[in-house]
Chains A and B, each alone.
Chain A
Amino acid sequence: AQRVTQPEKLLSVFKGAPVELKCNYSYSGSPELFWYVQYSRQRLQLLLRHISRESIKGFTADLNKGETSFHLKKPFAQEEDSAMYYCALNRVKAAGNKLTFGGGTRVLVKP
């Protein structure tokens, strides 16, 4: 069975500092990885997906199949990055779009 682990429940950084949210997965097949974000009083929304290989709001994430990781990084955190972040895995070629979520990491960016 697939599993997604986010080892940090809380990350607290100062504005302008780098931030890295760790995500490790276990899945024997070919996965699709996503980061979803939930800002205060807003809905959960997609931040980025690995197949797009793009930077969103300054965040990037690289899929490392050797280490089975999909860490989310931003070189200079901003206060508006404070939110709950979830890493999620979709099993490619499995039956449909069913996401497995990690436990989430709360990011607090201090001024």
Chain B
Amino acid sequence: DADVTQTPRNRITKTGKRIMLECSQTKGHDRMYWYRQDPGLGLRLIYYSFDVKDINKGEISDGYSVSRQAQAKFSLSLESAIPNQTALYFCATSAPDRGQTYEQYFGPGTRLTVT
């Protein structure tokens, strides 16, 4: 079954550590996204990629970087984690727009705690 997977599902790390969250998809979609979810704030876009060579900043990209290793893989890195990056992180994918906006398919989320 085509799917979006995220690893790890839970992670506790310390301030200043580098951490990578990984996302893989078997949907064959070109577009991939990283969001963070905070209570009361909904989901906010961190980075997005429309293909392997196209990576763009979202609304809250400071403190984060990404890598699109292949069409199916999109990783999010926190170079030096800080406590206010504690959140639930979601990866999502979508097919390219062709006259209409296609739905985004979300991964199960990674719960990150920075102490």
Contact = CB atoms under 8 A, between A and B. Distances in A.
**Bind each other:** yes
Query: In terms of DSSP, what is the predominant structure of the interface of chain B?
Result: strand
Contacts of A4: 42
Q: Number of contact residues on B: which range applies?
A: 20 to 34
Interface string A47-73: 001010000000000000000000000
Contacts of B50: 96
B70 interface: no
Given A43-B107, A44-B90, A45-B106, A97 B101 contact: yes
Interface of A: 4, 6, 9, 32, 34, 43-46, 49, 51, 86, 90, 92, 96-104
A97 B90 CA distance: 16
Interface string B20-32: 0000000000010
B75 to A, nearest CB: 19
Contacts of A101: 35, 42-44
